Amino acid sequence: MEQELRSRDWFGKKGKDGFIYRAWMKNQGIPNDEFAGKPVIGICNTWSELTPCNAHFRELAESVKRGVSEAGGFPVEFPVMSLGETLIKPTAMLYRNLVSMDVEESIRANPMDGVVLLCGCDKTTPALLMGACSVNIPSIVVSGGPMLTGKFRGKDIGTSDIWRFSEAVRSSAMSEEELSVAEACMCRSRGHCAVMGTASSMACMVESLGMSLPGNAAIPAADSRRKVLAQESGRRMVEMVKENLLPSKILTRKAFENAIRVNSAIGGSTNFVIHLLAIAGRIGIPLKLEDFDALSASIPLIANLQPSGQYFMEDLYYAGGLPAVIKELLPLLHQGCLTANGKGIGENVRDAICYNREVIGSTSAPFKHESGLAILKGNLCENGAVIKPSAASPHLMRHTGKAVVFEDIDDYKARIDHDDLDVDVNSILVLKNVGPKGYPGMPEVGNMGLPKKLLASGVTDMIRISDGRMSGTGFGTVVLHVSPEAAEGGHFALVRSGDLISLDVQSRKLQLLVSDEELGKRRSAMTGSFSIASRGYVSLYQRHVEQAHLGADLDFLRGASGSEVTRDSH
């Protein structure tokens, strides 16, 4: 085994190079036998006090280290850039690909035989997985876990309530003082958002792909069993190195199909699409936008979780966690898919039990017969767009209305609450230039707030269409990820206020009811193009980011470079 360890190219060397590799590590008080052929396990930590969802990760890393040491490994913790969804401007998505580069290069450049990825807040999970896939050494994810359910004036609350509270304040149904009290009630423990938002969807994605130990997704961050799972993952990683269990052996096309089906059954985030496409691109699995629709078509909504349902991640854990959901779905899954513990996903959940049918239904008695994500096509989104029917209003699923167009987010903010805005309940709000290149970074503004005057008259939902994303905690009849984005000059760039738009989710159609001749005239008259930043990462991003239907990765990051380092520095 010793010969096969990658880390021996550093710590096993004799002479000057070996001296240098070991000597500086010894300044941390590491005895000689740690370098004598133990598997070196990296712990990739996204801890940051600016990423509150991941602020407990140093403690979690200690549990992983304990497990690694117990199993005979040599743990080394290292930081990468962290992405806190709530604080980073203009949007954490702008930096997902940058973090993935940080992760990839950090793993490859250092003496690691395997890596434990500590992931939590939304983008930290796909970024770490993308980076690890491009190196392809044994990797396992330990998620930070969701927060405990928020409690506000006798009611359970979670991140999705932010949208409700904000609309309530705008329509004067809630005071600013009440809103301030709710702040402290929402996030009352460590962990990431407690609803089936993007962070929870990512944790479930990891588990259903097989890249974590079973049960990883739902254990609350504050529950001591989260630390147990971290310790067990550390132990397991040492074995994975011995077995040479690589991400490429786990992440097969069938594993991706399982993840898509599970995401549908739990009412997972629309962001799942964009991140899974990017991960598939790194590991070399062909996956198309249309696959998400086709694979989720027969999947009912089994988990009754906000924002599509009623409950929270804490409830999911007590009800049996993701293994209980997967067990319900088994006839629809590829049961033999290999997972991080060396067993098939079917074998992992064989003994799973559902303890609460209010939270986890069954395929024969689901919460909704339709789930998943619908992929729309039409002349308004030539390369596709995404809608989450389980979070939308049934009466708007087939609707034709007049467009009210906002050219960008500033235009939207300036006009949405004007009394003279020409809008009614049947209108369709269109927000342009919030895509990957145009914004840049594709922010979560797609579920834009409704006009104040309509809120005041009791309107709670309208069709909204954009080339941006929506928070996984958001809801409403919201069409997202329009591709090509306005900045790329697709038909979406040509839509004007007053145009008729037709949405028909059943037939997966999104049409701009304007003649080709008129669209041609508009295209010839088009003048503006988006501005590209003059320097730095943002300039690189804008020049190389791919469109949403491809996963919005940087074009030169697709695929893998492997783990080999061909040159020594000394």
Interface with ligand FES (CB under 6 A), residue from 56, 192, 227, 464: 192
Cα separation of 292 and 300, whole Å?
Answer: 14
35 residue type, one letter: F
The CA R_g of the chain, rounded to the nearest whole Å, is 24
* Part of the chain binding ligand FES (CB under 6 A), chosen from 189-197, 255-263, 373-381, 515-523: 189-197
Cα separation of 364 and 329, whole Å?
Answer: 10
Interface with ligand FES (CB under 6 A), residue from 197, 378, 384, 449: 197
Least distance to ligand FES, CB of residue 472, Å: 8
Cis peptide before 39 (omega within 30 of 0): no
Cis peptide before 440 (omega within 30 of 0): yes
Least distance to ligand FES, CB of residue 213, Å: 21
Q: Does 313 bind ligand FES (CB under 6 A)?
A: no
In terms of CB distance, is 112 or 121 closer to ligand FES? Answer: 121
Least distance to ligand FES, CB of residue 391, Å: 16
Cβ atoms 205, 271 nearer than 8 A: no
Cα separation of 343 and 181, whole Å?
Answer: 47
In terms of CB distance, is 38 or 275 closer to ligand FES? Answer: 275
Q: Does 194 bind ligand FES (CB under 6 A)?
A: no
**CA distances (Å), 475 to each of 108, 309, 328, 392, in order?**
40, 11, 26, 7
Site for ligand FES in 141-160 (CB under 6 A): 159
Question: What is the widest separation between alpha-carbon atoms in the chain?
Answer: 79
Strand duo 155-157 + 463-466: pairing: unpaired
Cα separation of 284 and 288, whole Å?
Answer: 12
Interface with ligand FES (CB under 6 A), residue from 71, 76, 93, 121: 121
Count of residues engaged in binding ligand FES, rule: CB under 6 A: 10
SS3 528: coil
In terms of CB distance, is 193 or 285 closer to ligand FES? Answer: 193
Interface with ligand FES (CB under 6 A), residue from 12, 81, 86, 110: 86
Task: Tokens 């002479």: give the residue.
Answer: 15
Q: Does 199 bind ligand FES (CB under 6 A)?
A: yes
Cα separation of 504 and 397, whole Å?
Answer: 6
SS3 18: helix
**CA distances (Å), 261 to each of 117, 295, 470, 494, in order?**
24, 6, 20, 35
Least distance to ligand FES, CB of residue 193, Å: 3
Least distance to ligand FES, CB of residue 121, Å: 3
Least distance to ligand FES, CB of residue 197, Å: 6
In terms of CB distance, is 304 or 473 closer to ligand FES? Answer: 473
In terms of CB distance, is 100 or 335 closer to ligand FES? Answer: 100
Cα separation of 326 and 268, whole Å?
Answer: 14
Residue whose C-alpha is closest to residue 489's, from 517, 516, 522, 538: 522
Least distance to ligand FES, CB of residue 224, Å: 21
Cβ atoms 167, 455 nearer than 8 A: yes
In terms of CB distance, is 85 or 488 closer to ligand FES? Answer: 85
Interface with ligand FES (CB under 6 A), residue from 122, 207, 315, 467: 122
Binding mask 321-360 for ligand FES (x = CB under 6 A): ----------------------------------------
Q: Report the first-to-last Cα separation within the chain, whole angstroms.
A: 26
Site for ligand FES in 43-82 (CB under 6 A): 53
Least distance to ligand FES, CB of residue 187, Å: 9
In terms of CB distance, is 271 or 296 closer to ligand FES? Answer: 271
Cβ atoms 448, 434 nearer than 8 A: no
341-360: buried (b, 16+ CB within 10 Å) or exposed (e) per residue? beebbbebbeebebeeeebb
User: What string of DSSP letters covers 215-264?
Assistant: TTTTS-TTSHHHHHHHHHHHHHHHHHHHHT--HHHH--HHHHHHHHHHHH
Interface with ligand FES (CB under 6 A), residue from 93, 193, 405, 487: 193
Q: For residue 375, what is the DSSP state?
A: E
User: How many other β-carbons are positioned within 10 Å of the β-carbon of residue 36?
Assistant: 11
In terms of CB distance, is 34 or 85 closer to ligand FES? Answer: 85
Cα separation of 231 and 340, whole Å?
Answer: 14
* Part of the chain binding ligand FES (CB under 6 A), chosen from 148-156, 174-182, 192-200, 435-443: 192-200
Interface with ligand FES (CB under 6 A), residue from 34, 77, 85, 239: 85
* Part of the chain binding ligand FES (CB under 6 A), chosen from 39-47, 56-64, 193-201, 550-558: 193-201
Least distance to ligand FES, CB of residue 441, Å: 16
Cβ atoms 306, 235 nearer than 8 A: no
Least distance to ligand FES, CB of residue 410, Å: 24
157 residue type, one letter: I
Strand duo 381-387 + 478-483: pairing: antiparallel
Task: Tokens 């962001």: give the residue.
Answer: 271
Least distance to ligand FES, CB of residue 451, Å: 27
* Part of the chain binding ligand FES (CB under 6 A), chosen from 63-71, 190-198, 221-229, 488-496: 190-198
In terms of CB distance, is 47 or 406 closer to ligand FES? Answer: 47
* Part of the chain binding ligand FES (CB under 6 A), chosen from 8-16, 191-199, 496-504, 517-525: 191-199
Least distance to ligand FES, CB of residue 148, Å: 14
Binding site for ligand FES (CB under 6 A): 53, 85-86, 121-122, 159, 192-193, 197, 199
